[in-house]
Amino acid sequence: MSVVKSDPQQMVVLRGIVTASSWDTEGQVTGIQISGPGEEEYVLENEGSVQALMRHIREEIEVSGFLVDYPTGKRGIKVKNFRLKGRWQR
């Protein structure tokens, strides 16, 4: 994942692949994250954007938003905007 821009008081822009981060008891995806080649992962937050991005698992995206640190040590991003970059090539 590449951090294009980072400042604690401003929006950040991240690039990576949409991956599942949580599932319900029936195996349906309930949460997603952005993952990059450096094994960095950021949980994606924002009800509308997350619902739209669930259709794009395994696709490369660029997201902009504000970073969030969770008590568990995980990091997240409150998505303000996103842009699809294309399908991940294996």
Distance CA 35, CA 19 (A): 7
- What's the pLDDT tens digit per position in 26-37? 999 999 999 976
Per-residue pLDDT at 18 = 93
Residue 28: Cβ-neighbour burial (10 angstroms; 0-12, 13-18, 19+): exposed
Distance CA 23, CA 30 (A): 5
DSSP string, the chain: -EEEE--TTS-EEEEEEEEEEEE-TTS-EEEEEEE-TT--EEEEE-HHHHHHHGGGTTEEEEEEEEEEE-TTS-EEEEEEEEEEEEEPP-
Q: In b/e form, how buried is each residue of 63-72, taking b as 16+ CB within 10 angstroms?
A: bbbebeeeee
CATH fourth-level superfamily of 2-85: Nucleic acid-binding proteins (2.40.50.140)
- What's the pLDDT tens digit per position in 18-74? 999 999 999 999 999 999 767 789 999 887 788 888 889 999 999 889 888 888 888
Per-residue pLDDT at 86 = 60
Domain residues of the chain, as ranges?
Answer: 2-85
Average pLDDT over residues 7-16: 76
Is the per-residue pLDDT at 89 higher than 60?
A: no
Per-residue pLDDT at 52 = 87
